[in-house]
Chain A
Amino acid sequence: MNQALEILLSILLLTGGFFTLAGAIGLARLPDFYTRLHGPTKATTLGVGAIMISSLIYFSVTEGSINMTEILIMVFLVLTAPVSANMMAKAAMHIGVRTTEETRGQGWDQ
């Protein structure tokens, strides 16, 4: 493996780690349940995506064959993250989780 590739992989891993960490900090810092939903659907998607791309490149280069499993992980993640966020939001509105005072507008429950 040459050095340029190693640098690229390191950058990808660091980027992934940074965004995953930011998602976790968001969970701790954001004021209410609904705002915390935004962390896992976005920051983490990009974080895991970057880590998966670096894994894909590493194993493709070292083993000489393209490893498709990482692509599947990304596809499943992108397919399921919005659905789980949606279900959590619905459940939260159903049991009437309170929002922060700054929130404008109202959730509905039907």
Chain B
Amino acid sequence: MLDRLNFPQPCLSLILFVVWQVLSDGVSGASVVMGLMLAWLIPRLTHGFWPERPPFRKPWKMAGYLLLVTRDIVTASIAVTRLILTPGRPRPVFISYPLTLQNPLAISMLASTISLTPGTVSADVSDDNKLLLIHSLDTEDEQKVIDTIRNRYESRLLEMFQ
């Protein structure tokens, strides 16, 4: 019984615990007990869904990456808003983006980044994890979008995950 009381994923457990403390509006006895229970139970229940943990090198680069993405979200929103509010029809296009990243977690991070930034939504990943289908709202040159993603985001993720 007691040997089951461990935390197989310490990072996830810690995050869950902290998030619960923040959600429950101040640390109290009850919130600590509840937080510990959740930190123990949730990693256990979701264990099967977690892909192999990738080698995560240079974690300090993550802060810079998040800043870059935040800045791009702001410029993306302004660009999309301008497109919505000005007359004239957008030129949408589906782009197949050849992935260099191999790790599933890194690919999902790239896909999320693409969805949050300028005029692009990632729609699907091919079964062999080699192609990412992107829908772009207003693009003239597909190659330019691919180059931007490759140089701006994927190269940085490659540094961190491979």
Within the complex, which residue of B25, B92, B96 is in contact with A102, where a contact is CB–CB below 8 Å? B92
Q: Is the CB–CB distance between A86 and B94 below 8 Å?
A: no
Q: Tell me if B13 is interfacial: C-beta within 8 Å of chain A.
A: no
Q: Tell me if A41 is interfacial: C-beta within 8 Å of chain B.
A: yes
Report the Cα distance A48→B40, complex, angstroms. 32
Report the Cα distance A64→B84, complex, angstroms. 40
Q: Is the CB–CB distance between B92 and A100 below 8 Å?
A: yes
Report the Cα distance A102→B135, complex, angstroms. 13
Q: Is the CB–CB distance between A34 and B116 below 8 Å?
A: no
Q: Is the CB–CB distance between A69 and B22 below 8 Å?
A: yes
Selected A-B contacts with CB under 8 Å, 11 pairs: A34-B121, A38-B121, A72-B23, A82-B121, A82-B122, A83-B112, A86-B115, A89-B121, A104-B91, A106-B94, A110-B124
Which chain A residue lies CB-closest to B119?
A: A38
Report the Cα distance A20→B116, complex, angstroms. 15
Q: How many residues of B contact A (CB 8 A)?
A: 37
Q: Tell me if B54 is interfacial: C-beta within 8 Å of chain A.
A: no
Q: Which residues of B contact A68 (CB under 8 A)?
A: 22
Q: Which residues of A contact B89 (CB under 8 A)?
A: 31, 100, 102
What's the nearest-Cβ distance from chain B to residue A62, in Å? 16
Interface residues, chain A, CB within 8 Å of chain B?
18-19, 22-23, 25-26, 29-32, 34-35, 37-39, 41-43, 45-47, 49, 68-69, 71-72, 78-79, 81-83, 85-86, 89-90, 93, 99-100, 102-108, 110
Report the Cα distance A83→B22, complex, angstroms. 24
Q: Is the CB–CB distance between B94 and A42 below 8 Å?
A: no
Within the complex, which residue of B77, B119, B123, B137 is in contact with A46, where a contact is CB–CB below 8 Å? B77
Q: Which residues of B contact A49 (CB under 8 A)?
A: 73
Task: Assess A85 versus B84: contact at CB under 8 Å? Given A35-B90, A108-B124.
Answer: no
Report the Cα distance A26→B81, complex, angstroms. 8
Within the complex, which residue of A42, A104, A110 is in contact with B80, where a contact is CB–CB below 8 Å? A42
Report the Cα distance A43→B92, complex, angstroms. 17
Q: Tell me if B85 is interfacial: C-beta within 8 Å of chain A.
A: yes
Report the Cα distance A108→B112, complex, angstroms. 19
